[in-house]
Amino acid sequence: MLNFISAHLAINYFLLAFVTIVGVLQFVAARHRLIGLTWLGSVRKPIWGYLLAIALIMGAFTWFFLATWEEVFIPGLAGSELVLLFGAAGVCALASTLLVSSILHGVQRREKSDPKAGGRLRHEAVAWQQLKGRLYLPEDTAPLKGEPRAAICILSSPLEAPLSLHPLVADLIEAGFIVLAMDWGSEEEIRYPAVLSLLPIAMAYLTRRNEVNPERIGVLGVGLGGDLAIRSAATDEQIAAVLALAPFLKRANAQPGLGILKETSYLEAIRWASFRRRGKLVAELAPLDYINKLGSRPLLLIYGDQDGITPLAQARAALGEETARGTLKSLPGKGHLSLANSRATSTLAIRWLRTVFSDRPNKFGTYSI
């Protein structure tokens, strides 16, 4: 069945298949804005991706027929040999595409990241009972109009470096909020129902701080943090407002498949998936069952319209009536993993927090930051 009577033709066909499949994957990357597949480092200008794809595909076919024109008109490769060569070339092309794309993505991320960013904000390490994290304070923590500061408890995605939320933290502090960035703890500690104690402990900690107005504590969760924020707020009346950035809502949304390559490189996707209990935790937290139990306390869910992990349409479908009530807002051009680092998110979050806190009377009277 497999004779490969012409080694030259077999090698050339393998190379043809390899290069054309790489070309097709570049076309796919440009068409579906898949960061994890592109060799251009960016998918913002898909035209370059299309041009690269056309060049690779046309170039490979032209080269193949120029190099083997005589050979393709004598008995050559059998059908089974073609299938085998195409399959092997496909595997190699896919592996090369994912690897090169991951390397380029990593280099770009390193160029963009600012290693000193984490040190600029005034903060103190928090280790109180099971609570671990950082408390970020504005330069001036004196009461405003006789009222202590509002505080926001931030819960990022598990195993995600808290520094990745720094732009959001910085913006909240600049707006006058006190921010507690919580740590989920080690991977082994992130289990249901143990995680349900995280936010109540954080609330207890914040209410003991003199700078904090205990009636103005909101929770901001990112990803799974958002799901936990909804669940915890449903049973903790002290949480005055809940802001969830791209919560998963349903277990299926925590298993994104190809969609994650819209957000990050393949190697990063594998790292993201290394936290295997994410889907199970979403199912256990059942945030959709608890949204109605928040009562009159305000809730805002923000999604990026380019979210490849929890697509906006799926979030809308899952939320149903809540969408109509304005609980869900979408931000154009933002993805799941980039949402928390966006200035647009900070602006929307701060505006909303100011509105809901000023709408909610307390013993200090009308609130303004």
Partner 1 sequence: MMSFDLQLFRLINNLAGRYALLDGLARLLVNEYFLTTTMALILVIFWFEGQDRDQRERNQSAILRAIIALFVANIVLKLCNLIYFRPRPFVNHEVNLLFYHPTDSSFPSNPATVGFSVATAVWLYNRRLGASLLVLATLFGLSRIYCGVHYPLDVIAGALLGALSAYLVVRKGGFIDPLISLIIKTGRRLYLA
Q: For binding to partner 1 (CB under 8 A), which residues are involved?
A: 13, 16-17, 20-21, 24-25, 27-28, 31-32, 34, 36, 57, 61, 64-65, 72-77, 79, 82, 86, 90, 94, 255-261, 266, 269-270, 273, 311, 313-314
Min CB(281)–partner 1 separation in Å: 18
Distance CA 214, CA 360 (A): 13
Give φ, ψ of 193 to 5 degrees: -95, 5
Min CB(196)–partner 1 separation in Å: 29
Q: Which residues of 290-304 are buried (b: 16+ CB within 10 A; e: fewer)?
A: bbeebeebbbbbbbb
Edge-to-edge strand order for the sheet containing 123-128? Answer: 123-128, 131-136, 178-182, 149-155, 212-222, 241-245, 299-304, 328-331
At 154, list the tokens.
Answer: 């931030």
* 24 or 163: CB nearest partner 1: 24
Q: In this structure, what is the dihedral angle of CA atoms 253, 255, 257, 263, given to the nearest 10 degrees?
A: 70
Min CB(257)–partner 1 separation in Å: 4
Give φ, ψ of 304 to 5 degrees: -85, 145
Cβ contact 283:310 at 8 Å: no
Cβ contact 105:112 at 8 Å: no
Residue 54 DSSP SS3 = helix
Min CB(284)–partner 1 separation in Å: 21
Min CB(69)–partner 1 separation in Å: 9
Q: In this structure, what is the dihedral angle of CA atoms 262, 268, 271, 277, given to the nearest 10 degrees?
A: -20
Min CB(326)–partner 1 separation in Å: 24
What is the residue-wise DSSP string for 301-363?
EEEETT-SSS-HHHHHHHHTHHHHTT-EEEETT--TTTGGG-HHHHHHHHHHHHHHHHHS-BT
* 71 or 236: CB nearest partner 1: 71
Within a 13 Å sphere around the CA of 270, how many CA atoms are in the beta-carbon half? 5
Question: Token pair 């929307």 is at which residue?
Answer: 348
Min CB(114)–partner 1 separation in Å: 29
Min CB(325)–partner 1 separation in Å: 24
Q: Around Cβ 91, how many Cβ atoms within 10 Å?
A: 11
Min CB(282)–partner 1 separation in Å: 16
Distance of CA 295 to the CA centre of its chain: 28
